[in-house]
Amino acid sequence: MRFLIDTNIFLEIILDQLKADEAKSLLSETEKHDFYISDFSLHSIGLILFRRNQYQIFQQFVNDMMINAGMMVLSLSLEDMASVIRVAQKFKLDFDDSYQYALTEKHKLVLVSFDADFDRTDQGKVTPIEIL
């Protein structure tokens, strides 16, 4: 299966939050599934970690997930911004959620997220526990 992993899944692990074990279990299944991350998520995680002066954790994240595990980074083109706007208006999502959703539409991916805002969309989302 092909999954777009939302920012909050990674942050759950990086920030050692309540559902970190669930998120870790899913991401350990790289041989069973194809996992993707958006450039928006990658940059958001970098922004959060840089604000905390956690540069090494960001580098480790990039090494572990992208370089070693082979997670692909996907982005939207300028032409795709019309889809982001359409999604935002249709489902009343903010920019980051609209960007993620538009990316799943474009690449025919299933969104993995803890964000309940996606529940009001056509495709919805799945949580790590639903995949495991």
The string of pLDDT tens digits covering residues 12-70 is 999 999 999 999 999 999 889 999 999 999 999 999 999 999 999 999 999 999 999 99
What pLDDT sits at residue 31?
Answer: 85
Tens digit of each residue's pLDDT (9 = 90 or more) over 107-123? 999 999 999 999 999 99
The amino acid at residue 89 is Q
CATH value at residue 52 = 3.40.50.1010
- State how many domains the chain has: 1
State the residue range of the domain holding 125.
Answer: 2-131
Q: Which two structure tokens, joined as six digits, stand for 93?
A: 């999502």
Q: Is 100's pLDDT higher than 90?
A: yes
Buried b or exposed e, range 19-44, using 16+ CB within 10 angstroms: eeebbeebbeeeeebebbbbebbbeb
Residue with tokens 């208006």: 89
As to burial, measured by CB atoms within 10 angstroms (0-12 exposed, 13-18 middle, 19+ buried), residue 66 is middle
What pLDDT sits at residue 84?
Answer: 98
Total-model pTM: 0.95
